[in-house]
A and B are shown apart, each in its own frame.
Chain A
C-alpha cells in the first residue's frame, strides 16, 4: 500500500456499525474477517479514495463512546462533492442524531455534524464556493496560515 492516513473506529457492535455506515453514509465494505464464532476480527470500509477500519473494543484502552459516557477524542470527517443536504437527510433517516444542521461556513464549505448510534461524532462537508484567505480572515477574525 502507498503512504497515507486512515482511522480505526471502535464499536461495541461492529457488525451493526458496518450495516449502519453503509445505510447512513454510503460507505462500502471492502474487507471483512470473521472467526468461526462469527465475531468480527478486522474490517475496512471505503469511501472515495479513503478507507476506515471498523473494529471492536479489543482492549481496555479502545472504547466506543457508548462505553465512556459519549465522549469522543477524535472525529472522522467526510468530504463529499455533491448534495450535502440530501446526505444529511439520508443520515437522519438511518437514525443519526443531527447535532448541527447543514449550514454554510465562512470558509466556503457547507457542513453538518451528527452522532451515530454508538455516539461517534461525524462531520460532513461539501465545498460550496471558493473563499480567499483574506475573505476568510475578515469573516472569522482569525489569522490563517496554510490556506489553499
Chain B
C-alpha cells in the first residue's frame, strides 16, 4: 500500500481542451511551493514532452534543465500518469501522479491522485520534520491550489 492525496474539480471545458491545457500550458498555470521545492534553485518553468516516455522538465533561469519525472501513461483526453521526484529525494525514490479527465455534461471533472509521498524518509530535507498526515495535508492543499489555477487557465 501507499499513501495518496486526491483532489478533483470541474473545469468549464471539454476533456480535449482540459487535457491540452494540463499538458501544454503547465508552464503558465503551475505555482511553485517552498515546501515542495523541485530543486534548490529559484523555481523555473515546467513543461511536458508529449507522449509516453516524455519528460516533465523544469528549466531554470540559468538554462539548466531538471527532470522532475517521465510520462508513464499517455491516454488523451482521458488519463495521464507521470512520475514525480524532487532533487532532495533519495536517489531511488519516485512518487507517482495520476490525472483523470471525465466528461460531465459540457464540463470536465479533473482529478489528481499523488501517490507515495509517505515514502519520503523521516529526517530527509523534503520532510521539513513533518509527520505523514501533516505532510500529506500540505501536499493536498498545494494540489488544490494548483488545480484551481489550472482550472482558471483551462476554462
Contact with B along A16-39 (1 / 0, CB 8 A): 000000000000111111111110
Contacts A28-B109, A41-B133 hold; do A35 and B5 have CB atoms under 8 A apart? no
Residues of A in contact with B, size category = 10 to 19
How distant is the Cα of A28 from the Cα of B108 in the complex, in angstroms? 13
Q: Number of B residues whose C-beta is below 8 Å from A?
A: 19
The answer to whether B153 has its CB under 8 Å from any CB of chain A is no
Nearest CB in chain B to that of A30: its residue? B8
How distant is the Cα of A35 from the Cα of B2 in the complex, in angstroms? 7
The answer to whether A63 has its CB under 8 Å from any CB of chain B is no
Nearest CB in chain B to that of A31: its residue? B7
Nearest CB in chain A to that of B144: its residue? A31
The answer to whether B155 has its CB under 8 Å from any CB of chain A is no
Which A residues are within 8 Å of any B CB, using their own CB?
Answer: 28-38, 41-42
Can you add 12 more A-B contacts, CB < 8 Å, to A28-B8, A30-B9? A28-B109, A29-B6, A29-B8, A31-B5, A31-B140, A32-B4, A32-B6, A33-B133, A33-B137, A34-B5, A36-B1, A36-B118
Q: 23 A-B Cβ contacts within 8 A?
A: A28-B8, A28-B10, A28-B109, A30-B8, A31-B5, A31-B7, A31-B8, A31-B140, A32-B5, A32-B6, A33-B4, A33-B133, A33-B137, A34-B3, A34-B4, A34-B5, A35-B3, A35-B118, A36-B1, A36-B118, A38-B1, A41-B136, A42-B140
